[in-house]
Chain A
Amino acid sequence: DQQVKQNSPSLSVQEGRISILNCDYTNSMFDYFLWYKKYPAEGPTFLISISSIKDKNEDGRFTVFLNKSAKHLSLHIVPSQPGDSAVYFCAASVYRGNEKLTFGTGTRLTIIP
């Protein structure tokens, strides 16, 4: 039972354009959401997070949007750069401070120069 789903295994975007990665969840107890980025031969690294009390959080080129009623979040990267090519994992936890995370299956983003 996949509680966190990333339905697009891969995504290709032209350099300079916007990349939008999507994530859906089924567990209404999830209260805190994170995005991790993973390069080949490296461990995942934290990118950005959002609490359920917000619907948007920005950090430079990265913005995460949360739609609680739809149980959906998205990561926007603008403008996309070649270094953004990586696998992106969405993750959720039942409260902030509980780092026992449930991860999605990942989306491989390729930025085309």
Chain B
Amino acid sequence: DADVTQTPRNRITKTGKRIMLECSQTKGHDRMYWYRQDPGLGLRLIYYSFDVKDINKGEISDGYSVSRQAQAKFSLSLESAIPNQTALYFCATSDPFDSGNTIYFGEGSWLTVV
């Protein structure tokens, strides 16, 4: 089983609809992130949370919101989806005491807004 699990893995939704992407992790990490990947733009940070009571905007937070329901759960919402939010979304976790200073990604959620 994956340490960082995203649901759904694929979703097609209509413009104007609300959509939630969920993320859960079994790594016991306090820090969680949401990234999106677009062709030619790499991975860009949407929101991040360093603990349950901490929520921070990333570089492209407009049009998104998040909720950190527990240490292990971090969800991303699109309140009113638009076509340019079509992308591959990644949840990730990290441990600041990890000597590798790395973040661990889920398998991704493909979202298509039509």
Q: Which A residues have a C-beta under 8 Å from some C-beta of B?
A: 4, 6, 9, 32, 34, 41-46, 49, 89, 91, 93, 96-97, 99-106
Interface of B is mostly: strand
Q: How far is the CB of B4 from chain A (nearest CB, A)?
A: 7
Contact status of A32 and B101, CB under 8 A, knowing A43-B4, A43-B108, A97-B96: yes
Please tell me if the beta carbons of B100 and A46 are within 8 angstroms of each other in the complex.
Answer: yes
Interface of A is mostly: loop
Near A by CB (< 8 A), chain B positions 55-71 give 58
Q: How far is the CB of B16 from chain A (nearest CB, A)?
A: 29
Contact status of A45 and B105, CB under 8 A, knowing A99-B31, A99-B96: yes
Please tell me if the beta carbons of B107 and A49 are within 8 angstroms of each other in the complex.
Answer: no
Please tell me if the beta carbons of B96 and A101 are within 8 angstroms of each other in the complex.
Answer: no
